Chain A
Amino acid sequence: MWFIYISLCIGILIGATSKMNKKLIKINDVITLICIFALLFVMGISIGTNKEVINNIAELGFVALIYAFLAILGSITFVYIVTEIILRGKRK
């Protein structure tokens, strides 16, 4: 899905090169929020049409919780080790 990157790059370029006032930034935030909700809704529909997923939702939820927990644990541990080594002394 290369068009995702193109879309992101064009967006960043427009954002970085244009002078937007507070009102325009606010409008952009609102549009982004509406888009995210639209995306979540369409995704929900796709999930809902898949009976197998719906029937196993409790198990999938449990699996998801383990992913979340271990990803957080991994981040805490790894970041602690690297920052202690590389950024030592910079902590205030």
Chain B
Amino acid sequence: MKMTIYIFIVVLLGILSGYYLLPNENLGSLVDITLTITIFFIGIGIGQNKHIFKKLKQAGLKILVLPIGTIIGSLLGGLLTGFVLERSLTFSLAIASGFGWYSISAGLLLPTSGAEIATIGFLANVFREMLAFLIIPFVAKKISPYSAISVGGATSMDTTLPIISQSTSEEYALISFIHGVLLSLSVPIFVQFFANL
């Protein structure tokens, strides 16, 4: 939760500086550069977890059922929102493709879809993470541990992992981690795809 507060403060400081100090700057290329560097270091972090690749081989294709289910379920939710609120369906799919990873998904949306969609995408994915914190214990107990993991989306490998692990068991924690890695890897692919449709 502490992290979420820091993130809000940093974004707010950015918004205030943009609003009052640099109202006429165009920082599109700066966003691109920062995003590319960030993704590079995230890649190193993912590559370091060599046991993931081993576990993936051991578990076989069945382990893909859960992440694919989360992807399709999230996209259906995005589509439904687009219908209900009468908003562009491709942008709705792009927003839902953040799977809770707000920094990268909003960074990807900004250059392709503009500030309004990027803001919605950022907030929607922040809210997804916050709601996930609140409901994962309930979903794990009353519905299923797999559904609980899917709520976290891409965050099931880091920020929501402790809660998932606490509300289920160690075995599910590993599944949750692998699920989060695969979801994270799919974020750039899906966001870019739908934003450019």
Contact = CB atoms under 8 A, between A and B. Distances in A.
Contact of B48 (A25, A56, A67): A25
17 contacts: A1-B111, A11-B43, A12-B46, A15-B47, A28-B48, A31-B41, A35-B38, A36-B103, A43-B110, A47-B11, A48-B20, A50-B116, A69-B77, A71-B77, A71-B78, A79-B70, A83-B146
B144 A91 contact: yes
Contacts of A50: 18, 115-116
Nearest to A81: B69
A45 B107 CA distance: 12
| Most interface-central of A7, A70, A77 (chain B CB within 10 A) | A70
A75 B70 CA distance: 5
A5 B132 CA distance: 28
Contacts of B48: 15-16, 20, 25, 28
A7 B110 contact: no
A75 B50 contact: no
Given A11-B41, A14-B44, A28-B41, A74 B124 contact: no
B43 A57 contact: no
B165 interface: no
Contacts of B44: 11-12, 14-15, 28
Contacts of B80: 70, 74
Determine chain A's interface SS by DSSP, over half rule.
helix
Interface size class of B (residues with CB under 8 A): 35 or more
Contacts, number: 303
A60 B116 contact: yes
Contacts of B167: none
Contacts of A75: 69-70, 73-74, 77, 147, 150-151, 153
Contacts of B20: 48
Contacts of B23: 48-49
Interface in B1-47: 6-7, 10-20, 22-28, 30-32, 34-47
**Which of A3, A7, A56, A75 is packed against the most chain B CB atoms within 10 Å?**
A75
Nearest to B65: A86
A15 B116 CA distance: 35
